[in-house]
Structure 1
Amino acid sequence: GVVVVRDVPAQICSQCGEEWIDAQTAQVLEEIVNEAKKRACQVEVLSF
């Protein structure tokens, strides 16, 4: 399936514009995705 997570807090480099997420945000995203997998939906759209 596909999991879309909206409104994920990210950092943006002021010099190059590259976006990244910190370790805590990555952990929360992993938990959100794992819970979505348990529901076995084809497409799931969630908010952070």
Structure 2
Amino acid sequence: NKYLYPDKLDGVFFTIFIITIAAAEAAVAIAIIINLYRSHQSIDVDEAGEMKF
């Protein structure tokens, strides 16, 4: 492949890094929503008041 020279892979690695960070942020957000639902049986933030662990 003419686009995969070893000295030109910086962009590919940076893109994979950014996608990995975005996936980790999404996983944290989903975990918070699941925890909120399990503790309050609702995902309405106004009903939760404060999040406790």
* Same fold flag (TM > 0.5): no
Q: Which has the higher helix share?
A: 2
Identify the structure with bigger relative contact order (alpha carbons < 8 Å, sequence gap 6+): 1
Structure of greater Rg: 2
Normalised to the residue count of structure 2, the TM-score between the two structures is 0.38
Normalised to the residue count of structure 1, the TM-score between the two structures is 0.41
